[in-house]
Every structure is written in structure tokens, then in C-alpha cells.
């Protein structure tokens, strides 16, 4: 039986201009959402390197959110285009590492979308409750997939 993850631990990397302000907006409007997400402010979602996300998983995070401005609305004109291109590739790396793709969420949240932010965080938190805790999986991650590859 898979272990149930009652309280998934989530790190959110939020761009300063849209998504962080959107999360502030959720606060100002008192929109409730689960406390599982811990927010880290970055200037642009384009600043979030795949290594930073990987490092976060390796620290035992059950989920990572990378939130940025909507395409076209980026404060740095098109920094988020890099995010949009980078993470589909990173998803394939997650497959290789044996990390469920559902643990990483890329989403565009504008400064006025506090409600959307609260909804996305709630939904993401709930979805992670169905996955086993990340920390228990860490040791088996790479070995498992490489072993599979050798057998296959």
C-alpha cells in the first residue's frame, strides 16, 4: 500500500512582479488556501534554473511550483518565454530521475489573479496528497531508473 502523504511540502518560486503580487492579492482579499506552500520570491520565473528545482526535490519537497507572468505580460518583456521552453525539457529529466511529473507545476498568475492563485495552490496541494512522500523516495530515485534501463 502506498503511504499517504497527509501534508505535502511545497516550495513555490514566484516571480516578483506578477505571481508574488498575485499571492499578496490573495492575502489582501483573505482568500483561504492550504498552508503547505512556502513561497520564495524570484525576480522572474526565468531566474528559476532546473538545478534549483531539482535541488528542492532532493531536499525532500513533495511539490514545486514555478509561477510567472502570463506570456506577453512579463515585466522583463519575455523572460517567462524561457520558463515556458525550459520546463517541458525538465519534465523529461524528471521522467529519467523517476520523479512524477505531477510534482512540478508551471503556471501563469498575474498580479490581479489572487483568486486563481488560491485555487491553483489548493488544487496542486490536493493532487500531491495522492503521491507518496518525496523524502522516502529520494534514495531509490536514480538507482531505480538506471537498474530498469539495464534490465530493459
Contact set with other proteins (CB under 8 A):
7, 9, 11, 17-18, 20-21, 23-24, 26-28, 30-35, 38-44, 46-52, 55-56, 59-61, 69, 72-79, 82, 86, 110-113, 118, 135
Instruction: Please identify, using beta-carbon distances, which residue of 38 and 146 lies nearer to other proteins.
Output: 38
Instruction: Please identify, using beta-carbon distances, which residue of 1 and 148 lies nearer to other proteins.
Output: 1
Instruction: Please identify, using beta-carbon distances, which residue of 56 and 137 lies nearer to other proteins.
Output: 56
Q: How far is the CB of 20 from other proteins (least distance, A)?
A: 7
Q: Which long-range contacts (CB under 8 A, 24 or more apart) does 136-145 make?
A: 136/3, 137/98, 137/99, 138/58, 138/60, 140/98, 141/97, 141/98, 141/99, 142/97, 142/98, 144/98, 145/96, 145/97, 145/98
Q: How far is the CB of 151 from other proteins (least distance, A)?
A: 32
Amino acid at each position: 500500500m502506498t503511504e499517504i502523504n497527509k501534508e505535502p511540502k511545497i516550495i513555490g518560486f514566484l516571480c516578483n512582479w506578477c505571481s508574488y503580487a498575485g499571492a499578496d492579492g490573495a492575502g489582501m482579499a483573505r482568500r483561504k488556501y492550504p498552508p503547505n506552500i512556502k513561497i520564495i520570491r524570484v525576480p522572474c520565473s526565468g531566474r528559476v534554473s532546473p538545478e534549483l528545482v531539482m535541488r528542492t526535490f532532493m531536499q525532500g519537497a513533495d511539490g514545486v511550483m514555478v509561477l510567472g507572468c502570463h506570456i506577453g505580460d512579463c515585466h522583463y518583456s519575455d523572460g517567462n518565454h524561457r520558463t515556458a521552453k525550459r520546463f517541458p525539457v525538465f519534465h523529461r529529466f524528471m521522467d529519467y530521475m523517476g520523479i512524477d511529473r505531477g510534482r512540478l507545476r508551471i503556471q501563469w498568475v498575474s498580479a490581479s489573479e489572487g483568486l486563481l492563485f488560491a485555487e491553483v495552490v489548493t488544487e496542486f496541494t490536493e493532487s500531491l496528497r495522492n503521491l507518496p512522500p518525496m523524502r522516502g523516495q529520494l534514495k531509490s530515485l536514480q538507482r531505480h531508473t538506471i537498474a530498469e534501463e539495464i534490465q530493459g
